[in-house]
Amino acid sequence: MLGVIGGSGFYTFFGSDARTIALDTPYGEPSAPITVGTVGDHEVAFLPRHGVKHEYSPHTVPYRANMWALRALGVRRIFAPCAVGSLTTALGPGSMVVPDQLVDRTSGRADTYFDSGGIHVSFADPYCPALRTAAAGLPGVIDGGTMVVIQGPRFSTRAESRWYASQGFTLVNMTGYPEAVLARELEMCYAAIALVTDLDAGVEAGEGVRTVDVFAEFERNMPPFKKLVREALEAAVAVDGDRTCAHCLSHEGVTLPFELP
Q: What distance in Å separates the CA atoms of residue 83 and residue 37, rounded to the nearest whole number?
A: 23
Residues 11 and 214: their CA atoms lie apart, in Å, by 15
Q: Who contacts 36 (Cβ-Cβ below 8 Å, separation ≥6)?
A: 1, 14, 18, 19, 20, 21, 43, 44, 45, 46, 73
What angle in degrees, to the nearest 10, is found between the helix axes of 129-136 and 222-240? Answer: 130
Give me the amino acid identity at 166: S
104 as an active site residue: the answer is no
Q: Which residues pair with 6 in a beta bridge?
A: 48
Per the annotation, does 175 bind a ligand? yes
Q: Is 228 annotated as a binding residue?
A: no
**Element at 72 (helix H, strand E):** helix 63-73
Q: Judge whether 158 is annotated as a binding position.
A: no
**Which residue in 143, 198, 213, 240 is the catalytic one?**
198
Catalytic pick from 17, 100, 143, 200?
Answer: 200
φ and ψ of 215, to 5 deg:
-65, -35
Number of H helices, E strands in the chain: 6, 11
- In DSSP terms, 45 is beta-bridged to 3, 36
Q: Are strands 2-6 and 42-48 parallel, antiparallel or unpaired?
A: parallel
- Is 50 labeled as ligand-binding? yes
200 labelled ligand-binding: yes
Catalytic (active site) residue 198: yes
Annotated binding site for phosphate: 8, 49-50, 175
Catalytic residue list: 198, 200
Annotated binding site: 8, 49-50, 174-175, 198-200
Annotated binding site for substrate: 174, 198-200
